[in-house]
Amino acid sequence: MIPITHIWLSTTPMDMRCGSGKLLAHIITEHQSIRPHCAYLFYNKAGTRLKVFIHDGLGVWLCSRQLDDNKFHGLTKQLATTQTGISINREQFNALISGLPWRNMGKDKLTPIL
């Protein structure tokens, strides 16, 4: 199991046809470097596919997830902010990849779902 210390979710959709090279270039452009043991999440415009890019300290892992019959909850226009990405916790990550509402998971302050 790869230990993950930080999870970053992009706030803008990404073309899911791109591979690890383009995602790595995007991360370096936005963050100036890539952090080991950090997971970077990207989603498509429709919110139906998710890619998880992980640097394990030696190399990179690229995982893709698609739900059988639904969209990933909360990956829409309302996610877009002036930031390129947001930090989420492990509980939010687990809910997101399962297709469940994730924004209020593990938080003391609740964000209303519009």
Domain layout of the chain by residue ranges: 6-98
Q: Which residues lie below 8 Å from residue 45, measured CB to CB, with a gap of 6+?
A: 13
The sheet that has 60-66: what strands, in order across it? 60-66, 49-55, 38-43, 6-10, 85-88
The pLDDT value recorded for residue 110 is: 46
The pLDDT value recorded for residue 80 is: 61
Residues of the chain with pLDDT under 50: 109-110, 112-114
The pLDDT value recorded for residue 113 is: 47
Cα angle: 71, vertex 75, 81; to 5 degrees: 170
Strands 38-43, 6-10: pairing kind: parallel
The pLDDT value recorded for residue 77 is: 62
The pLDDT value recorded for residue 74 is: 76
